Amino acid sequence: MKLAFVGKGGSGKTTMASLFARRAAALGHPVMAVDADINQHFAAALGLDAEAAAMGPVLGEHLGDIKEYLRGDNPLIPSADLMLKTTPPGPGSRLLTVGESNPVLDRLFTLHEGIRFAATGGFVDDDLGVSCYHSKVGAVELLLNHLVDGPDEFVVVDMVAGAEAFASGMFTRFDHTFLVCEPTLRSVGVYKQYLGYAEDYDVDIAVIGNKIDDEDDVAFLREHVGDALLGWCTRSKYVKAAERGAVGPVADLEPENLAVVDAARRRAVAGGKDWPKFTRQAHEFHRRAARAWGNDRAGVDLADQIVPGYVLGEHLLRAPAV
């Protein structure tokens, strides 16, 4: 399951993503976690050493290596220079799985408490004023396009805050999206903005309330998000301690908050995967990118890389495990 955690900056989406990933791993699920936020805090939330993680290899600096590996011997992609962040796989492309060993994943991902973690990397001095963060996130989009994950596996992506995720088609790369929402008008506003952008693309969105103090907070969220409200987390001493550097076992999270994390996992599994939709939308956004700028840069029609009838992952249709 490919899962996005989104929300207003400061809503707690990174914390919620980390709790989801750590709980799933503790229960024995294969888990991959990716920090795709410009503010790179996912590693620390997962319990990794933040300074060590910042010094390690990052996806955004190895986009060329990722392209070269993924293209494999696909005859429609004779050069990595002809790959965009939207390039879909086809016959001969190298596909990825959550737990496999290969030169790209082994180099760019770190294993921590059963979670394979990687980050896009934040801005460095050479990026300031000349680079767009979406160029770094493109590495994540390419990996997601080529990743064949099962219904009992979880790929948890901490996304950019607000509606910035809609600057590319990456918002369609997820089976389910969890929007973390505080009981405030600004936070609810991000939900409504996200919902408006996503409504034409069959994006599955569930809202997790956060920083809830009382029933008035719950009533506020119910009024503004309705049935999309999956559950809510109260203010947490466990989370406060974790944010101060004391990341304890996830089972020590308050029972009522842990129940919300478990409900999110059950929601994701019950919703299932739709590989034909995933492939169809990958093709749609690749055509868009090719027309908008890719073809001019490459000098060829990159939409010709799309193989009609090719559906990623359709052989994985099987009963999920919760």
List of domains in the chain: 2-306 (3.40.50.300)
**CA nearest to 77, candidates 270, 298, 315:** 298
CA distance 32 to 259: 22
* The pLDDT value given to residue 50: 79
CA distance 20 to 46: 10
Task: Please tell me the pTM assigned to this model.
Answer: 0.93
Consecutive H or E run containing 44 = helix 42-46
How many residues are listed for the chain in this entry? Answer: 322
| Cα dihedral 159, 164, 166, 169 in deg (nearest 10) | -50
* The pLDDT value given to residue 316: 53
Spatial neighbors of 141 by CB under 8 A, at least 6 apart, are 85, 86, 168, 169, 170, 173
Write down the residue that tokens 């992952």 correspond to: 313
Confidence of residue 2 (pLDDT cuts 50, 70, 90): very high
Residue 313 CA to its chain's centroid (Å): 18
Please, are residues 255 and 30 in contact by the beta-carbon 8 Å criterion? no
pLDDT in tens, 92-132: 999 999 999 999 999 999 999 999 999 998 644 444 444 44
Write down the residue that tokens 């001969």 correspond to: 92
pLDDT in tens, 282-309: 999 999 999 999 999 999 999 999 999 9
Tokens matching residue 93: 């492309």
For residue 203, give the 3-state DSSP assignment. Answer: coil
**Overall average pLDDT of the 2-11 stretch:** 95
Q: What are phi and psi of 118, to 5 degrees?
A: -145, 155
Instruction: Kindly list the distances between the CA atom of residue 229 and the CA atoms of 19, 162, 180, 201, 252, in Å, as whole numbers in the listed order.
Output: 18, 18, 10, 20, 24
Tokens matching residue 53: 């993680």
Please, are residues 209 and 221 in contact by the beta-carbon 8 Å criterion? yes
